Amino acid sequence: MKLNATTDDILSADNHLIQSFCDLDALKQNTARTVINRAEGAFVYDSDGNELIDGIAGLWCVNVGHGRQELIDAVTQQLGQLDYYSTFYNFTHPSAAHLAQKIADLAPASLNHVYFANSGSAANDSAIRILHHYNERRGKPDKKRVLSRHGAYHGSTYLAMAMTTPAFSQTWSSASDLVHHLRSPHHWREGGGMTEAEFLDALMEDLEQSIAHLGADNIAAFIAEPIMGAGGVIVAPKGYHVRSAEICRANDIKYISDEVVTAFGRLGHFFASQEMFGVEPDIITSAKGLTSGYQPLSATIISDEIYEVISAPGEKFLHGFTYSGHPAASAVALANIEVMEREKLPEQVRTTGKQFESTLRDLGELDIVGEVRGSHFMMGIELVKDKATKVSFDDDVEIGGKVAEAAQKRGLIARPLGNSLILSPTLVMQPDLIEKTGDILRESITAVA
């Protein structure tokens, strides 16, 4: 292991690494790359020893904070006992089984069956494959299409990418024809002068018209994040999810809640779809906070009703990933949930997350801040050239990147996303650090404006 290599050594080795969602040419020219070397609690440390507040929890992941010995021990103990076995055919192992049971206990009442994969993308792909299988078994082979939304992010495999907003994909996906994108539910940008209630009606009309146009008999699912994440942290108008779910139910369309980001405490609950938005989905997909990122793992949690159909005598379920329910990942997820329950982390977030939200909302008074949006520890800040007209900065100004750079110089990692910044820190942030994060953002935005 090369844990103590010099920055130059690491950057030289890094020339062989292809990063994600990045400007490969700029990286090739060796422009500013940050080597994250070490992490502890709410902080990470770069290879020059700078301490940085982890304002994005890695990538919406490290909910219980970095460096938890309990989680590290869970991995090593598990590997010592059983390093790997698959969950294919009739094989299982204790960690995967107990984790499935634990997730079923935490999830809404009718969601009692869990399919494990290794990423949020694979969890969403699995949800659709399960529903296709379910509909075939019900004698409805044409019921395959998926309703998603402009602004959504559901992953980077070809099927998940097809469900993601077209703005994120450069390549044609063979699954694109399966997916229809509904209007973005972003009132501030897309509301066109309507009140929020009028906008909600317009969104529901779009949903109903799309179903009528495509034919309910051809649609398997509607997929939605409770709050859109990578699309800019978009909170839909109040009542949106409940009304969407009602329309789906009336049309025999399954409602998939993509809780890859929103579950496991980020919004103050283990699962936000029901507890915060009042919807009992047919399927919930989750990842990230499930293990706090200590190991890659995702869960596709399905209802009893779907499970009964796919497990009835007949055709086999032909789907599987080598690492589904990997022992080390399952063990660390169990330890992670144990920490969250013991420390009452979701409950704590209902206080500290609200403080974080209100600290960031105060930045709305700055001249170039157009909208501060989100909830608890899931926040977005959109920067605008003209606040009154909401006119955006030109793309080549790269305003989000500039503010993020200014913040990093001041000791905070924030994620730029076009003209917006995303803040999704570890859930262990306490009031002093929340205040400091707000101060750094204020200084950074003011310095760049």
Binding residues vs ligand PLP (CB under 6 A): 119-121, 124, 153-156, 225, 229-230, 258, 260-261, 287
Any idea of the CA torsion for 40, 123, 266, 202, to the nearest 10 degrees?
150
Smallest gap from residue 285 Cβ to ligand PLP (A): 7
Helix/strand/coil for 427: coil
- When the beta carbons of 119 and 444 are compared against ligand PLP, the nearer one is 119
Point out the residue whose Cβ comes nearest to ligand PLP: 120
Smallest gap from residue 120 Cβ to ligand PLP (A): 2
- When the beta carbons of 124 and 274 are compared against ligand PLP, the nearer one is 124
Any idea of the CA torsion for 224, 247, 166, 384, to the nearest 10 degrees?
-70
Q: Please tell me the distance from the alpha carbon of residue 398 to that of residue 404, in angstroms, as a whole number.
A: 10
Q: Please tell me the distance from the alpha carbon of residue 435 to that of residue 432, in angstroms, as a whole number.
A: 5
Amino acid at 70: E
- When the beta carbons of 68 and 149 are compared against ligand PLP, the nearer one is 149
Smallest gap from residue 119 Cβ to ligand PLP (A): 3
| Eight-state DSSP code of residue 365 | G
Smallest gap from residue 217 Cβ to ligand PLP (A): 27
Distances (CA, A) of 54 to 40, 95, 108, 408: 10, 30, 31, 10
- When the beta carbons of 410 and 415 are compared against ligand PLP, the nearer one is 415
- When the beta carbons of 93 and 154 are compared against ligand PLP, the nearer one is 154
- When the beta carbons of 56 and 310 are compared against ligand PLP, the nearer one is 56
Exposed e or buried b for every residue in 32-58, given b needs 16+ CB within 10 A? ebeeebebebbbbbbbeeeebbbbbbb
- When the beta carbons of 261 and 406 are compared against ligand PLP, the nearer one is 261
Exposed e or buried b for every residue in 254-291, given b needs 16+ CB within 10 A? bbbbbbbbbbbbbbbbbbbbbebbebbbbbbbbbbbbb
The closest alpha carbon to 35, from 1, 57, 3, belongs to 3
Smallest gap from residue 219 Cβ to ligand PLP (A): 20
Q: Please tell me the distance from the alpha carbon of residue 191 to that of residue 175, in angstroms, as a whole number.
A: 30
Smallest gap from residue 216 Cβ to ligand PLP (A): 25
Smallest gap from residue 370 Cβ to ligand PLP (A): 23
Q: Please tell me the distance from the alpha carbon of residue 416 to that of residue 63, in angstroms, as a whole number.
A: 20
- When the beta carbons of 154 and 402 are compared against ligand PLP, the nearer one is 154
Smallest gap from residue 418 Cβ to ligand PLP (A): 16
Smallest gap from residue 124 Cβ to ligand PLP (A): 6
Amino acid at 153: Y
Instruction: Enumerate the H helices of 82-141 as residue ranges.
Output: 94-106, 120-137
- When the beta carbons of 54 and 225 are compared against ligand PLP, the nearer one is 225
